[in-house]
Amino acid sequence: MARKYFGTDGMRGTANVAPITPDCVLRLAQAAAARFRRGDHRHRVVIGKDTRLSGYMLEPAMTAGFVSMGMDVILTGPMPTPAVAMLTGSMRADLGVMISASHNPFQDNGIKLFGPDGYKLSDEDELEIERMMDEGVEALASPGSLGRAQRIDDAGRYIEFVKRSFPSTLSLDGLKVVVDCAHGAAYKVAPVVLHELGAEVVAFAVSPDGRNINRECGATKPQAMCEQVVAHGADLGIALDGDADRLIVCDEKGQVVDGDQLMALIAASWGADGRLKGDVVATVMSNLGFERFLEAHGIGMTRTKVGDRYVVEAMRAQGCNLGGEQSGHIILSDYATTGDGLIAALQVLAVLVADNKPMSETGRCFDPVPQLLKNARFEGVSPLENPDVKAAIASGEERLNGKGRLVIRPSGTEPLIRVMAEGDDGDLVEAVVSEIVAAVEVAASN
């Protein structure tokens, strides 16, 4: 069944434009409450947000929706997405809500929902919520059964939760770490965690004003962090995105270390000491060099479609404890139910401290094969059904056969076709991607 509101990671779009409007998210809250209001206990929902200006609009709208259904609301204020997931389970809430558009610019916003177990909702739950949003819920709460809302300051619970994931036998003493918080949800907690574990912390992008989240900073734009690392002579840099569920690192030379390299580092470490369970789960976008590295270490790889929720689903189904995306969503299920940039960073730091080598050595686990991703924007009907586009894709697959991979997919959040190819021949990769993108752009303009 086609989705109307939800994408690959919750609901997302331009703030104050449907569906990211107060009336729509109020209906979302009512429908989600109806779906998860089970039993006769006092129901509650945890709502967190990042630092976007539009959070001030969406938070009260969602609160009103839940309260109208008789659910009590716990408002955390700015808090990382993984913190909301953790608090949902820790506080025995029936639902968790994160108001965030992750790495998108401040003009966008979105809603991520977590079930009582702290995991993102299934396709079945999301489709049923969509149905109820359009058809309406059966009954609102009576005047005497309305919910209540309270605001809490419980960052300390999450800070201690994250710190417990770092080996007690190790310390960050002597390390200088730049942490780029993207002017986002982790701007308070991330520097505290690193400082309390012993690091000398250079905090960057920690002055949110509602409009500067992810602006030339954070995991999707790590260049500023890299420059800070070199300028301060730091041992490494850690960049989070707007809601702190993804991580990108740079070494002491200011060179970026992406999610594939970080997962390889953790996989090798965990595999060596017997902590790794099953395959490493990655998406179709992870580099072929990463897959070859795992194979050389006797570790299997399971690939999923793009989206950390699909990585988590595969991990749960197969009993794996490490998975993620090249973009930096890294899921460590021994500790968290969703991607957690801080917890992933601490696992990387644990390996760095134990190896006693610079990050430029520790963090370079494999040589990635040439990989190129280009986006083609379109309006209206997807051009992927166009005969010329199909022919270009078929030609590219034939040319790459046995020499690389080709992945074509529509974006789950924007009107884009993403074209990715990789292989040992960089010139061939460039030619294949360029030809397919050109075909998509011509089809989209007709």
- Map out the domains of the chain as residue ranges: 11-153, 171-255, 258-368, 371-445
Mean per-residue pLDDT, 375-384: 88
Q: For the ranges 202-216, 388-402, 407-421, which has the lowest average pLDDT? A: 407-421
Q: Which of 71, 27, 76, 25 is nearest to 45 (CA)?
A: 71
For the cut 70, the answer to whether the pLDDT of residue 1 exceeds it is: no
pLDDT digits (tens, 9 = 90+) for 235-254: 999 999 999 999 999 999 99
Two tokens, residue 403: 């020499």
171-255 is classed CATH 3.40.50.620: no
When the pLDDT of each residue in the chain is averaged and rounded to a whole number, the result is: 95
Do 371-445 and 11-153 fall under one CATH topology? no
Q: What is the pLDDT of residue 413?
A: 66
434 given a catalytic annotation: no
Superfamily of domain 371-445: Alpha-D-phosphohexomutase, C-terminal domain (3.30.310.50)
360-398 per-residue burial string, b: 16 or more CB within 10 A, e: under 16: eebbebbebbbbbebebebeeeebeebeebeebbeebbe
pTM as predicted: 0.91
Q: What is the pLDDT of residue 133?
A: 96
Is residue 89 over pLDDT 90? yes
Superfamily of the domain at 258-368: Alpha-D-Glucose-1,6-Bisphosphate, subunit A, domain 3 (3.40.120.10)
Which residue is it, tokens 């992406």?
258
Are the C-beta atoms of 204 and 176 separated by less than 8 Å? no
pLDDT in tens, 293-336: 999 999 999 999 988 889 999 999 999 999 999 999 999 999 99
Cβ within 8 Å of residue 217, ≥6 positions away:
180, 182, 183, 204, 205, 224, 225, 239
> Which residue among the candidates 68, 90, 100, 102 is catalytic per the annotation?
102
The CATH code of the domain at 11-153 is 3.40.120.10
**37-44 average pLDDT score:** 89
Tokens representing residue 401 in the block: 């056969």
How far apart are the C-alpha atoms of 220 and 93, rounded to whole Å? 32
Pairing between strand 247-250 and 280-283? Answer: unpaired
